[in-house]
A and B are shown apart, each in its own frame.
Chain A
């Protein structure tokens, strides 16, 4: 991990809510794995105060494609300070054939890079967009991805079949109340399956990324009795092992 500079070379608009920044980066960062991310800082000001996690959704022609909300203003030619690579790659089971991805009240940005990797390996992928995630336009996604829209109460068509069919499931939720939302997802899966096996249902933890290199403790997660930092050993943790016992809205 080191601090390097990136250059925004191209900006495209994949949908109405997000923009894609094609960023030339240090050669060591081009090999960023699905699940890994960068911590970005633009300019020398202290606004925003901390670095912002930049999650790549693709890598092409020596550039990383970063997805950012349309509300943020960027320019071609802008340089950005990047710390990375942060986190670990998302680990898929050997011989996995069908993978279910769920975005709940949040854009599916952290899921897009893993989806592309699986598609390159001819693995079947389904993306379920729940709640606010349904506003995310998906026309730019590869046509091989099956996209299903669900509601805020974690219902979607053919739920029993998709849950039973999936070899692995990866979920990202709105970071404002991550433990509560993950707990709701876990509860729904517990209703749909007799048991939740290990290495089956993973949450991609995004909340509280303060530093990106494991010193601020803001992203600490309790997994199997141990404290893990999402920015170091995450962001994907097995939800059956994560301590999610947080009351709704508790702070």
Chain B
């Protein structure tokens, strides 16, 4: 299930699966290959990167809640130039396209960053992150600058809760796709220190809220691709976004920290790579030549040439 992002005369980017990690959850694509099946990802979305360097937040950054987490990192990054210099060799080698998440700080920074990104070949698209409290006029100005100076597709990550004026400003000024949404902001008491910690909220309960908002977006902007992000904790969650909310693709966030394999599972599922196992199939019948193991154990006849069982007793246990 390929999807292509890009409008106008920009070089479009094609994602071979509609699944990718959300910005800030996957490093720069340098996460360990044994934890993630990189070839099955539609794209690699980088950590948020600014034109200037960002330092990490000080104090407590992580508060766990039942069924979720609040995280405040300060988006540490060494600045765009250094990020590109350090990671270009890796990004050139990756099979999946790299989408750089650019922190939308100011028009001048976005302009400089987009000009520099346009000169690279390793970055295939940009995801522009907007401030949580942005007004539509500022969003329009940032997107206008980005589309003017960027030679690649532009995705814009919208803040949550959804603001239709901001979304319309982004679409009207040439964004190629919407990423809905950034994790909402929250604050909670750190149970260890007793202090209030602000940060972004992750967890399964976000899915119903985000799915409702994604559904509204896809109805209001039918010609625009929407990439849903928030609260995906199972294959079914991801399917719901695509089949019921009308999203073109999905991004997985904090769930992959606890369960890295979830990214592989969702990628394989939405790419149509998971085959349905016949109800009466032997457990190891999938692989050529080894189906006979179960067959022998159960005393069943087995034909190794065509790798199918000759017959199965009617009262055989499932």
Q: A245: which B residues are within 8 A, CB to CB?
A: 58
Selecting from B64-72, B127-135, B157-165, B303-311, the interface stretch reads B64-72
Interface of chain B residues 84 through 131 with chain A (CB within 8 A): none
Contact A46 B67 (CB under 8 A): yes
Query: Is B24 on the interface with A (CB-CB < 8 A)?
Result: yes
Assess whether B47 is in contact with A217, with CB atoms less than 8 Å apart.
yes
CB distance from B72 to the nearest CB of A (A): 9
Of B65, B71, B204, which is in contact with the most chain A CB atoms at under 10 Å from its CB? B71
Interchain CA distance A50-B202 in the complex, whole Å: 11
CB–CB A222/B31 < 8 A: no
**CB-based contact B67/A47 at 8 Å:** yes
Cβ B73 vs Cβ A220 within 8 A = yes
A interface size (C-beta, 8 A): 36
Contact A216 B32 (CB under 8 A): no
Q: Which residue of B lies closest to A216 (CB)?
A: B257
Task: Tell me whether A175 is interfacial, beta carbon within 8 Å.
Answer: yes
Q: How far is the CA of A174 from the CA of B30 in the complex (A)?
A: 31
Cβ–Cβ contact A213 & B32, under 8 A? yes
**Chain B residues closer than 8 Å to A215, beta-carbon distance:** 24-27, 31, 47, 257
**A1 and B34 in contact, given A175-B192, A215-B25 (Cβ under 8 angstroms):** yes
User: B293 — which chain A residues lie within 8 A by C-beta?
Assistant: none
CB neighbours (8 Å) of B204 from chain A are 46
Complex Cα gap A2–B31 (Å): 11
Measured in the bound complex, the distance between the Cα atoms of B205 and A47 in whole Å is 13
Q: A41-B259, A51-B258, A220-B76 are in contact. Are A213 and B31 (CB under 8 A)?
A: yes
Report Cα–Cα, A135/B71, bound state, in Å.
31
A149 → chain B closest CB, angstroms: 23
Cα distance, A233 to B84, chains bound together (Å) = 21
Is B254 close to A, CB under 8 A? Answer: yes
- Contact among B35, B61, B203, B260 for A208, CB-based, below 8 A: B61
SS class, residues of chain A in contact with chain B: loop
Report whether A49 and B60 are in contact in the complex, using a CB–CB cutoff of 8 Å: no
Q: Which residues of A lie under 8 Å from residue B278 when comparing CB positions?
A: none
Residue in contact with A222 in the complex, picked from B35, B55, B73, CB distance below 8 Å: B55
* A121, chain B: closest CB distance, angstroms: 31
Min CB distance A104 to B, Å, is 15
* Contact (Cβ within 8 A) A251 B71: no
B82 to chain A minimum Cβ distance, whole angstroms, is 11
Of all chain B residues, the one with the shortest Cβ separation from A207 is: B60
Decide if B301 is an interface residue (CB 8 Å cutoff): no
**A-binding segment of B10-18, B193-201, B209-217, B266-274:** B193-201
Given A177-B193, A218-B71, A220-B73, are A47 and B66 neighbors across the interface (CB < 8 Å)?
A: yes
Chain B 31-76 interface residues, beta-carbon cutoff 8 Å to A = 31-32, 34-35, 47, 55-56, 58-62, 64-69, 71, 73-76
Residues in chain B near residue A41, CB distance under 8 A: 258-259
Is the Cβ of B59 less than 8 Å from the Cβ of A179? yes
In the complex, A143 has a CB within 8 A of chain B: no
Complex CA distance for A229 and B66, rounded to whole angstroms = 25
Report A69-88 residues with CB < 8 Å from chain B CB.
83
A27 contacts chain B at the CB level, 8 A cutoff = no
A249 at interface (Cβ–Cβ under 8 A)?
A: yes
Check if A211 is an interface residue, CB within 8 A of chain B. Answer: yes
The answer to whether A50 and B64 have CB atoms under 8 Å apart is yes
In Å, the complex CA distance between A215 and B203 comes to 17
Complex Cα spacing A123 to B261, Å: 42
Q: How far, in angstroms, from A120 to B75 measured CA to CA in the complex?
A: 42
Assess whether B62 is in contact with A218, with CB atoms less than 8 Å apart: yes
Give complex CA distance A1, B33 in Å.
9
Chain B residues, CB < 8 A from A50: 62, 64, 69, 254, 257-258
Instruction: List 15 extra interface pairs beyond A174-B192, A214-B30, CB under 8 A.
Output: A46-B67, A46-B68, A46-B258, A49-B202, A50-B254, A83-B260, A177-B59, A213-B31, A215-B25, A215-B257, A216-B24, A217-B61, A217-B76, A220-B61, A221-B56
Taking Cβ atoms with an 8 Å cutoff, the residues of B that contact A are 24-27, 30-32, 34-35, 47, 55-56, 58-62, 64-69, 71, 73-76, 78, 190, 192-193, 195-198, 202-204, 233, 254-255, 257-261
Give the B-binding residues of A (Cβ under 8 A).
Answer: 1-3, 41, 46-51, 83, 174-177, 179, 207-208, 210-218, 220-222, 227, 245-246, 249-251
The 9 closest A-B pairs by CB, nearest first: A220-B56, A211-B257, A176-B193, A2-B34, A176-B192, A217-B73, A251-B59, A215-B27, A208-B62
